[in-house]
Amino acid sequence: MQIGVLGAGRIGQTHIINLAELPGVTEVLVYEPDANAARRVQEVATVCSSAEEVFTRSDGVVVATPTSHHPEDVRAVADAGLPCFSEKPISLNLADTEATIAYAAAAGIELQVGFHRRFDPGFLKMRRAVESGDLGELYLIRAACHDYEPPHESYLPTAGSIFCDMHIHDFDAIAWLSGRTPIDVVARGSVLVDEMFARYEDVDTSAAIMTLEGGALAMLTGTRQNGVGYDHRTEVIGSRDALSAGLGPQMPLRSADPGVLQPVDPYPSFPVRFHQAYAAEMAAFVDLVAGEGPNQCPGSAAEDALRVALAADLSLARGSAVRIDEV
Contacting positions for ligand NAD (CB under 6 A): 6-12, 31-34, 37, 51, 64-67, 69, 87-88, 114, 116, 155, 165, 270
Considering the complex, state which of residue 162 and residue 187 has its C-beta at the smaller distance from ligand NAD: 162
Those residues whose C-beta lies under 8 Å from the C-beta of residue 103, and which sit 6 or more positions away, are 74, 75, 78
- Which residue intervals of 168-274 are DSSP H helices? 168-178, 196-199, 270-273
Considering the complex, state which of residue 144 and residue 216 has its C-beta at the smaller distance from ligand NAD: 144
β partners of residue 2 = 27
Phi, psi (degrees; rounded to nearest 5) at 6? -100, 115
Considering the complex, state which of residue 206 and residue 211 has its C-beta at the smaller distance from ligand NAD: 206
Distances (CA, A) of 188 to 95, 121, 211: 25, 30, 15
Find the shortest distance in angstroms from Cβ 256 to ligand NAD.
30
Find the shortest distance in angstroms from Cβ 261 to ligand NAD.
28
- For ligand NAD, the nearest residue by Cβ is 9
Find the shortest distance in angstroms from Cβ 274 to ligand NAD.
7
Find the shortest distance in angstroms from Cβ 294 to ligand NAD.
20
Asked if residue 178 lies in contact with residue 216, where contact means CB atoms within 8 angstroms, the answer is yes
Find the shortest distance in angstroms from Cβ 182 to ligand NAD.
20
Q: How far from each other are the two terminal CA atoms of the chain, in whole angstroms? A: 41
Find the shortest distance in angstroms from Cβ 70 to ligand NAD.
6
Considering the complex, state which of residue 276 and residue 320 has its C-beta at the smaller distance from ligand NAD: 276
Asked if residue 20 lies in contact with residue 44, where contact means CB atoms within 8 angstroms, the answer is yes
Considering the complex, state which of residue 8 and residue 185 has its C-beta at the smaller distance from ligand NAD: 8
Considering the complex, state which of residue 168 and residue 216 has its C-beta at the smaller distance from ligand NAD: 168
**Cα 32 to chain center, whole Å?**
21
Alpha-carbon radius of gyration of the chain:
19
